[in-house]
Structure 1
Amino acid sequence: MTEVVPRLAEVEADVQGLVEAHMETLLGVRFLASEYSTGPLHGGRIDSLGLDENGSPVIVEYKRGVDAGVINQGLFYLSWLLDHRDEFERLVRDRLGATAASQVLWSGPRVVCVAGDFTRYDVHAVREHRRSIDLVRYRLFGSDLLALETVAAVSGGVQMARRARPWSGAQAAGVQGGAMGELAGAVDEVLLGLGAGVNRVERKTYRAYQRLRNFACVCPPQRAKLLVYLKVNPADVTLVPGFTRDVSGLGHHGTGDLEVQLRTPRDVERARELFRASYAA
């Protein structure tokens, strides 16, 4: 055996180039722009701009090693972004089309800081801010391997409440207080409890659970079942009619190619291993 020694990039631009070239695979974010100028009055350039799977704007800032300023730099640009929503939506329209621009989710803009490492003070700092911030440590191994590790992930600047807000809309009418509503609450507890750094994002048509990328999407309860979509390859699962289904070629809300149909608490227990597999993917 030969040890593959981890190393940092030679320069910050090497990390940025790798992530931008594979942003959707690595972060679940569609790439929009690199070194985006915030104009002469603001005086800055955002390393990377993107849009995540749920339509949330994403700012990505990079540092080769440890840099105490990376979090404040990201928040500085986030403040600019919130003041220039129309400009961002025009950029999305130009790059991804009018539909994506109309669905930008301004309730949850994110900052992702990718660096060689972070201090315990950095981790404490992100938990004090009322913004969504992910701290991601990178390492290069040999000439062709890249590892990303989430050091801290905070949504809205505080740890999310363990109980989900009630579903709203016609799809959930009449089921919120019944068995399906209780089932949705049980699934919420299981998914949030899979590990540290799980964030929940609310959209009108689904509730996403993410660890950098979405790993589960839960649709509003129906009268007799609850649909969950997972980032699990259906080819790796023994599909059970009425419980699991391959939806890789079908349109649906949320993200994921494996549909899990839940009708009873026993189904939630049956699905735990699938939830864990999607979380670990």
Structure 2
Amino acid sequence: MTVLITGARGQIGRAVLDRLHAAGRPVRAASARPSGLDVPAGVERVELALNRPDTFAASLAGVRQVFLYPEPAGIDAFVAAAEAAGVEHVVLLSSAAVLSPDAESDPLGSHHLLVERALTASALPATLLRPDAFASNALGWAHPIGAGLPVQLPYPDAVLAPIHPADVADVAVAALTGPALRGRAVTLTGGRRLTLREQVGVLSEVLGRPVPVETITRAEAERQLSRFMPAPMANSLLSFWATATTTPTPLADTTRTLLDTPERTFHQWAAEHAAAFTTA
């Protein structure tokens, strides 16, 4: 039963692909530029772009499950093509942002909500994985830390529950290989809450040197973030941090509650990626 992996270049998509392939499951890696995909030997690469319906039929032929990255452009046509191809289950990498009261107007929330609604309105059984903040978001601090500069934050005391990306991949694989999560919507977090300041402190401990935190204004943070993401997305992220300063992110399901395996910690993630923070 072939599993189509969309977003095969992404950290979660590639981890899911590797786990399924190692377990002997037939997988197909999809990308808008498949020739550039570096995949394990024996894994088929296929062209798939959600804004190009002409790529749907070949990518879905013989597929019974899909691991889907969220992209609202073309999602209705893709869902229809998946139904026609006989797909039996979709596991969507969504976001906890869909649970926000203003999800419909929030750029991040609405992006994922549109995909969720297209799936739930269809006949396709779907598992919706809604991770909250990723531990890997800390890579945004790699440059200042590597250069020996302070980490500048507008809301250093925002309380998050960062999840290791590998935990998300493990839950996705469980959803694709067993019945327990099929049809469920699951919010995912790490097992411990940490402020952004405490996350920087963990990195300082792992690196064995001080990493100062400097509080900046929201306007300055928006200016900085807008160099790397659309301004509406930057504003959405800042609002999330602002809310988490007064209303800590609640702990939700983890690998411990869903898979009976210990959650990976932020400290573990930091130790695994220490090299990313050692050069400017």
TM-score by length of 1: 0.27
- Between structures 1 and 2, the one with greater helix share: 2
User: Which structure carries more relative contact order (alpha carbon 8 Å, separation 6+)?
Assistant: 2
TM-score by length of 2: 0.27
- Between structures 1 and 2, the one with greater strand share: 1
